[in-house]
């Protein structure tokens, strides 16, 4: 089924606590995950909370990647939302699973803007007109 976008919602468990609490490492990993997808970075913003935890977003031309970490639980919540046929959010997922040293994951993919539900013919390429 064709859609405007793919949205992966991932739960990373049993991760490296030190990485999850390092705002620079998290930002670098999220940007590298973006490059892995083939997406184009527009902007990013990351914040380290006290006493621990990091939240951040990488805004991409094709949507966004976000992360929220709880180092005290070795846990990270990640959203990977990409639009178009030229980017693959699963590449970002695989990269992040590896670099966060996640031992266990739960992940689901949602198709966003399914063609049949918004009235775009399945055999017609999506063209946005502004």
Could you say which of 63, 64, 74, 102 is catalytic?
A: 63
pLDDT tens digits, 43-99: 999 999 999 999 999 999 999 999 999 999 999 999 999 998 889 999 999 999 999
Predicted confidence at residue 126, as pLDDT, reads: 56
Q: Spot the catalytic one: 44, 55, 68, 126.
A: 68
> How many residues would you count in the chain?
130
Q: How far apart are CA 88 and CA 24, in angstroms?
A: 24
User: What is the reported pLDDT for 68?
Assistant: 98
User: HEC profile for the chain?
Assistant: CCEEEEEEEEEEECCCHHHHCCHHHHHHHHHHHHHHHCCCEEEEEEEECCCCCEEEEEEECCEEEEEEEEHHHCEEEEEEEEECCCCCHHHHHHHHHHHCCCCEEEEEEEEEEEHHHHCCCCCCCCCCCC
The whole-angstrom separation of Cα 96 and Cα 92 is 6
Q: Which of 15, 29, 83, 102 is catalytic?
A: 83
Q: Which residue has the higher pLDDT, 104 or 118?
A: 104
68 carries an active-site annotation = yes
CB 87 within 8 A of CB 39: yes
Has 63 been annotated as catalytic? yes
CATH topology of domain 3-116: 3.60.90
């Amino acid at each position: 089924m064709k859609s405007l976008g793919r949205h992966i919602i991932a739960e990373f468990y049993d991760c490296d606590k030190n990485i999850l609490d390092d705002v620079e490492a998290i930002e670098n990993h999220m940007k590298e995950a973006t490059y892995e997808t083939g997406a184009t970075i527009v902007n990013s913003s990351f914040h380290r909370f006290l006493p621990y935890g990091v939240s951040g977003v990488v805004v991409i031309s094709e949507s966004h990647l976000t992360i929220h970490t709880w180092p005290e639980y070795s846990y990270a919540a990640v959203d990977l939302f990409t639009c178009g046929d030229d980017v693959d959010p699963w590449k970002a997922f695989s990269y992040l699973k590896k670099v966060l040293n996640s031992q266990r994951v739960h992940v689901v993919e949602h198709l966003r803007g399914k063609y049949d539900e918004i009235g775009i013919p399945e055999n017609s390429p999506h063209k946005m007109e502004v």
